Amino acid sequence: MRPYTILNAAMTLDGKIATRTGSSKISNKKDIERVHKLRRELDGIMVGVGTILIDNPKLTAHKLPNEDIFTHERSMKKLNPTRVVVDSRGRTPFNSNVLNSDAETIIATSNKILENEESLSLLKKKADVFICGESEVDLKKLMEYLYHNGIKTLMLEGGSTLNFSMFKEDLVDEVRVCIGPVIVGGDQSKTLVDGDGFDFMESGVQLIMKNSYLLNECLILEYTVKK
Ligand SMILES: NC(=O)c1ccc[n+]([C@@H]2O[C@H](COP(=O)([O-])OP(=O)(O)OC[C@H]3O[C@@H](n4cnc5c(N)ncnc54)[C@H](OP(=O)(O)O)[C@@H]3O)[C@@H](O)[C@H]2O)c1
């Protein structure tokens, strides 16, 4: 058993989720509200360590307009999804925002972290450290672990390397993208899905479009993954 997983991302019209310098502000206020509402509805939110090192995100859910919750730390912890970082060598900085006390955090790592005892013991102070895989995180084992620890629904928030591995292992159920009205180009810019890629169109991930709508100047597209 594994969590029902929704990949969510904002991308440019030319499919980039960040420029080569790591600049990644693409969507608008309304889309950010959509993302935070979705975060609140799901049990977990997962990113790769590349995203932590570049963006240093908090990965929490903001208070929405007209909501009078989030008044103290306990209610914040309950409402925020559990954060999951895929980090095979323990590179998540000890002072990164994802390790703050606003929500639970799981660092999913591999046996490689055993070569770095200091990092392992520091991360254990702030997060649940789950070791699976030899040199990179075994995503199938991680998904089982998350499911058995109460994460039945999961948002995958990138980046492009982790997105590819999740597709390759057939662990994604839905894709939701916000397309911003901008083009940045660049063969070093991250796209929605990078990694090795699939060799043929027929072996690519086949999608069924479920919905499309505008949020001001941004286009939202929602697909399910054909199984
Ligand atoms: N626009 C958006 O919606 C959006 C959302 C998220 C991110 N981003 C952008 O995406 C960029 C980061 O993407 P990225 O591709 O560099 O990094 P990433 O996908 O966030 O993280 C990739 C890293 O995860 C680790 N990892 C461990 N096990 C893995 C496995 N089984 N499969 C894949 N990765 C595994 C690897 O590092 P180790 O080997 O060290 O463990 C790998 O290099 C940033 O620029 C960020 O701004 C944009």
Spell out the domain ranges in the chain: 4-225
| Band of residue 79 on the pLDDT scale cut at 50, 70, 90 | confident
Position in ligand 1 atom list of the atom nearest CA 136: 28
Fold designation for 4-225: Dihydrofolate Reductase, subunit A (3.40.430)
Position in ligand 1 atom list of the atom nearest CA 135: 39
pLDDT digits over 136-176, tens only?
Answer: 999 999 999 999 999 999 999 999 999 999 999 999 999 99
Answer whether 218 contacts ligand 1 (Cβ < 6 A): no
Q: Are strands 218-225 and 207-215 parallel, antiparallel or unpaired?
A: antiparallel
Number of Cα atoms under 13 Å in the Cβ half of residue 191: 13
Q: CA-to-CA distance for 10 and 30, rounded, in angstroms? A: 12
Ligand 1 centroid from CA 72, angstroms:
32
**In 3D, which of 16, 66, 12, 5 has the Cα closest to residue 38?**
5
Answer whether 9 contacts ligand 1 (Cβ < 6 A): yes
